[in-house]
């Protein structure tokens, strides 16, 4: 299923709502990449989003509408950089400066 094509009206929005560090609700999600009780990795319309905590549970999963809710003790929510793209930029810059 191509989330972006089927839900083009939802592509423009991605929100993260954190409630008392016990629940996080996310919109704009089109894929759950991995999950366990300490970390959940989601693919969103913006970037990959990592949720870190303890006793994490996916309490709502509605990929058709791009909605995910996670409950537990939430320590961190962060968007991950695309390391492949970053490495390409770094290598080009190093070549420009003549460094190896």
Spell out the domain ranges in the chain: 3-97
* CA 43 vs CA 14, 69, 88, 94: distances in Å: 11, 14, 21, 30
Q: Which CATH class is domain 3-97?
A: mainly beta
Burial 25-40 (b: 16+ CB within 10 A, else e): bbbbbbeeeebeeeeb
> According to the model, what pLDDT value does residue 82 have?
74
This prediction has a pTM of 0.73
Per the CB < 8 A criterion, the answer to whether 48 and 41 are in contact is yes
pLDDT at position 35 over 70: yes
Q: Which residues pair with 80 in a beta bridge?
A: 48
pLDDT at position 8 over 70: no
């Amino acid at each position: 299923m191509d989330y972006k094509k089927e839900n083009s009206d939802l592509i423009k929005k991605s929100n993260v709502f954190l409630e008392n560090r016990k629940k996080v609700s996310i919109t704009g999600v089109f894929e759950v990449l991995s999950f366990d009780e300490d970390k959940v990795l989601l693919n969103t319309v913006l970037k990959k989003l990592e949720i870190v905590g303890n006793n994490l549970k996916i309490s709502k999963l509605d990929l058709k509408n791009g909605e995910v809710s996670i409950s537990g003790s939430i320590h961190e929510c962060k968007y991950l950089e695309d390391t492949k793209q970053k490495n390409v930029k770094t290598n080009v810059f190093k070549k420009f400066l003549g460094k190896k």
